[in-house]
Chains A and B, each alone.
Chain A
C-alpha cells in the first residue's frame, strides 16, 4: 500500500511541478490548446493548433492573459514556437527524451492544470522525419491537450503531445526534437521553411523497375511541375522524373518529401535519386528557403 501512496504522491508532484510552466494557448477559433514555457520567453505548442499569426493570447498559470507572437513554426513536426513576456513564470524542467523507453509511465499535462496518464506504447523511428522518432502514447489526450507536456514520473518534460490535425492520434514529439528546433530558432532568429519548387504525385513503381534497381519500396513520386529558377530547376529536375529517394531517405509519397525537408536542411545539398526514361540518375539539390 505504501508503494502506491508514494507513486500517487510522485505523480501529483510531477503534475504540480509541470503546471507552473504551462500556458493556455488561444490561437484558433473553436478550442484552445496548451503550450509549454520551454526556454525563457519561448512557449512551444503544437503547430496545428496555431491557426492565426496575429492574434495569439496565452493564459498564464495564474489565469492572467498575455499576448504572444509567432516566433517560428515547423509544420513537418507539428511544432510552433511563440514569443511571450513570461514574467515570473518559470521555464519547464526538460528531461532526456533519448532515455525514454516503451513501457515507461507518463503523464500528459494540459492547461488548467488537467492531466491524464498512461504509458509510452512504442517509439516509432523515422516517422518524425529523417532519423527522428515520435512517441506513440497509450493515454487519453483530452480536448485542448495538444501542445501540452509529456512528463515522466520524476516531473521532467520529455515531449510535446499532439493528437495531430485529425485529433485521433496520441503522439508526442520528443524533447530532443524541440531542443533542436529552438537551437536553430535562436541561432538564425527564425525557423526557415525549406523550399524545392517542385510539385509531385505518388506513382506506383513497375515490378521490373524495382527488380532492376533493387528497390524495396512499391511507390515513389513523379514530378508534375517545376518552378522556373527554383532549386529543383537549378538541379536539372524535370517534369516526368520519378524521385525514389532524397537525402538517403526513401520517398514513397509527397508527404515523405516534407518529412525529409526539415528546417535545418535549408542550405544543405542533398542527393535526389531519380528515374528518367527508365534510367537512374543522381541530381544534386541545394535546399532553398521559402520566402517569408
Chain B
C-alpha cells in the first residue's frame, strides 16, 4: 500500500519555518549543517527567526543573498539540527515529487505531484524544475523532494497551476560560493 507519511515526516524534520517578528514569511531547507537555504524574497532583512519542527525558535542571520537567483543563506546556532539529504540526480518527467512547507500558514503541509518538465518556461529563461503540484504562498523556500526523500529543488514560484523550483545543483553552487562547505 502506498503511504506517504514516512516521506512527510522526513521532510518535516528538514523544513524550517522562516518568520519575522511573529509573521510567517515562508519556508526554508536545513542544509548544510547549521544553515538554512531559502528564497531571497522570503527574507528581505538581515535577520529572521527560524522555527524547527521540534518547536525551537532560533535566530537566523543572513550570510549570503543573491536576489537574481532568488536565494538566501541563513546561519542558525543550535545543536542537533538535522540536515537535508540533497539529490543530484536528474528528475525525469513524470516522476513523483513531494513539497513540504507552510502554505497559507498551515505548518508542515505535504503536497504531492509529478515533474511536469525541466527547463525554462520561456525560451532563453532560467531552468526550473516545473512540477505539477499545488503550492501556495508560504511554500516558498521549502523543499521539493523525490520519492526517496532526496531534496531536488527549492520551491520558489507558482505560475498558474504550475510550481517552479530552483534545481538543487544551482542551490549547491550558491552555497559553495558563500564559502559554506555543504554535504
Contacts and interface: CB of A to CB of B under 8 A. Distances in A.
Contact of A142 (B4, B146, B149, B162): B162
B147 A115 contact: no
A283 B33 CA distance: 82
B93 A15 contact: yes
Contacts of B161: 140, 142
A140 B113 CA distance: 11
A196 B152 CA distance: 59
A115 B6 contact: no
A1 B95 contact: no
Interface residues of B, number: 24
B2 A7 contact: yes
Contact of A11 (B4, B114, B148): B114
Given A4-B4, A5-B147, A7-B147, A107 B94 contact: yes
A14 interface: yes
A52 B105 CA distance: 49
A125 interface: no
Given A1-B149, A8-B147, A114-B117, A140 B93 contact: no
A4 B7 CA distance: 9
Given A115-B116, A117-B132, A16 B92 contact: yes
Contact of A116 (B4, B96, B132): B132
A115 B132 contact: yes
B19 interface: no
Interface string B90-108: 0011111000000000000
Nearest to A17: B94
Contacts of A1: 6-7, 147-149
Contact of A3 (B1, B94, B116): B1
Interface in A105-136: 107, 109, 112-117
Interface of A: 1, 3-5, 7-9, 11-16, 19, 107, 109, 112-117, 139-140, 142
